[in-house]
């Protein structure tokens, strides 16, 4: 007899979708699988309806319904959603909508009851992150240009609300907290940006804790903790129950704003002072343009999101207290390069899959508390 503990849905290069059940032995074994006509590219699962929405490389979205014992998988519906591979798919139970994005640079939504396409929106680049707020019907779309677009969806049309641009790399993951009305975006530039859309409209806070591409984000609302995973194998638990500070904009100057020595492009001042120009740097705390001599020290600034040591000017370094250097995140090594993650908040379990083709299940209750 098998004991159902968790349903892990796994898309393989062999073009199959599989359900894994925990047996009495404590190990996971495949319960049922279905062979797909082409490779699977993305997936979402709704535990209330046991509905699997599966995006395929040929642009279609296929839906399956699992039986109560998770030992049978019944095809339900197929949507002709895109002209290219599906990049993200979401099922919204409250609206009975299936949202999807594709390599054809389009965002579409379908009615899951009738199968009819309700609307479409053309994006500027491939979309790699998608979230939806049920209360306001806002869709958050993150793409390969590093931009996050907010769309207002109606039954058969949508309108552009605004766009955010903060990443230097493509957006790789999005996470939405509907309670605090905060959007988190992860990027290939190794950073996470927290967009405070609710109480402090438009305010953005940076989180720097990965050494490689951020691959997944999820939010534990009951403890106000953000969980991020990356290609560097790191799992970072961020405390969002602290008052964070925005990083300053970098200031422009032709000379060091501390010692007033010219930078190397300031030919006039170099000629007048008979001095060789210096390389420009920026203090991560105050944003001033400084030379290497005036910014020779490093410090963490966790409330600004810098959990690793970064360049600061000498005066800012002396002003940062030990209390301000106290970390706001904990770091854990997954021992594999993560490409996907899924968090189950009721049990406190985190599932990660890596480039090593291994799925790992983590008990996060000791750290997410």
Angle 220-166-194 from CA coordinates, rounded to 5°: 20
Q: Is residue 119 over pLDDT 90?
A: yes
Element of type H or E holding 316: helix 314-319
Query: For the whole model, what pTM was predicted?
Result: 0.86
- Name every residue whose Cβ is closer than 8 Å to that of residue 43 and which is 6 or more positions away in sequence: 9, 11, 17, 52, 53, 54, 55, 89
Summarize pLDDT for 197-234 with one digit per residue, the tens. Answer: 875 566 889 999 999 999 999 998 888 999 999 999 99
Main-chain dihedrals φ then ψ at residue 357, nearest 5 degrees:
65, 25
pLDDT band, very low/low/confident/very high, at 13 (cuts 50, 70, 90)? very low
pLDDT band, very low/low/confident/very high, at 192 (cuts 50, 70, 90)? very high
Distance CA(278)–CA(307), nearest Å, equals: 28
- Give exposure, 123-148, as e/b (b: 16+ Cβ within 10 Å): beebbbbbbbbeeebbbbbbbbbbbb
Mean pLDDT, residues 228-250 = 91
Q: How far is CA 216 from the centre of its chain?
A: 5
Q: Residue 202: what pLDDT?
A: 65
pLDDT band, very low/low/confident/very high, at 138 (cuts 50, 70, 90)? very high
Long-range contacts (CB closer than 8 Å, 24 or more residues apart) made by 34-37: 34/64, 34/73, 34/75, 36/62
Summarize pLDDT for 83-113 with one digit per residue, the tens. Answer: 999 999 999 999 999 999 999 999 999 999 9
Distance CA(220)–CA(235), nearest Å, equals: 14
Distance CA(105)–CA(111), nearest Å, equals: 20
Q: Is residue 23 over pLDDT 50?
A: yes
């Amino acid at each position: 007899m098998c004991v159902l503990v968790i349903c892990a849905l796994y898309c393989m290069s062999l073009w199959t979708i599989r359900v894994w059940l925990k047996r009495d032995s404590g190990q996971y074994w495949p319960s049922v699988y279905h062979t797909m006509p082409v490779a699977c590219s993305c997936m979402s699962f709704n535990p209330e309806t046991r509905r699997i929405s599966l995006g395929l490389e040929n642009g279609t979205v296929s839906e399956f319904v699992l039986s109560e014992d998770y030992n049978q998988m019944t095809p339900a519906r197929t949507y002709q959603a895109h002209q290219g591979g599906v990049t993200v798919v979401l099922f919204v139970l409250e609206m009975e909508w299936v949202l999807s994005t594709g390599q054809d640079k389009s965002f579409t939504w379908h009615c899951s009851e009738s199968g009819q396409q309700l609307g479409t929106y053309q994006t500027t680049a491939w979309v790699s992150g998608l979230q939806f707020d049920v209360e306001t019907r806002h869709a958050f779309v993150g793409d390969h240009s590093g931009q996050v677009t907010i769309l207002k969806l109606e039954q058969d049309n949508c309108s552009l609300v605004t766009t955010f641009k903060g990443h230097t790399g493509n957006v790789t993951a999005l996470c939405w907290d509907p309670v605090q009305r905060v959007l988190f975006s992860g990027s290939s530039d190794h950073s996470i940006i927290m967009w405070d859309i609710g109480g402090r409209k438009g305010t953005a806070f940076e989180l720097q804790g990965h050494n490689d591409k951020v691959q997944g984000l999820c939010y534990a609302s009951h403890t106000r903790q953000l969980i991020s995973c990356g290609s560097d194998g790191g799992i970072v638990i961020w405390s969002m129950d602290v008052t964070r500070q925005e990083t300053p904009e970098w200031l422009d100057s032709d000379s060091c704003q501390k010692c007033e020595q010219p930078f190397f492009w300031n030919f006039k001042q170099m000629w007048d002072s008979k001095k060789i120009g210096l390389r420009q740097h920026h203090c991560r705390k105050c944003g001033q343009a400084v030379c290497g001599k005036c910014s020779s020290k490093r410090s963490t600034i966790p409330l600004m999101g810098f959990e690793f040591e970064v360049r600061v000017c000498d005066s800012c370094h002396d002003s940062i207290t030990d209390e301000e250097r106290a970390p706001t995140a904990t770091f854990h090594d997954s021992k594999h390069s993560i490409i996907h993650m899924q968090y189950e908040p009721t049990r406190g379990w985190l599932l990660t899959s890596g480039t090593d083709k291994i799925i790992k299940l983590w008990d996060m209750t000791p750290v997410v508390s």
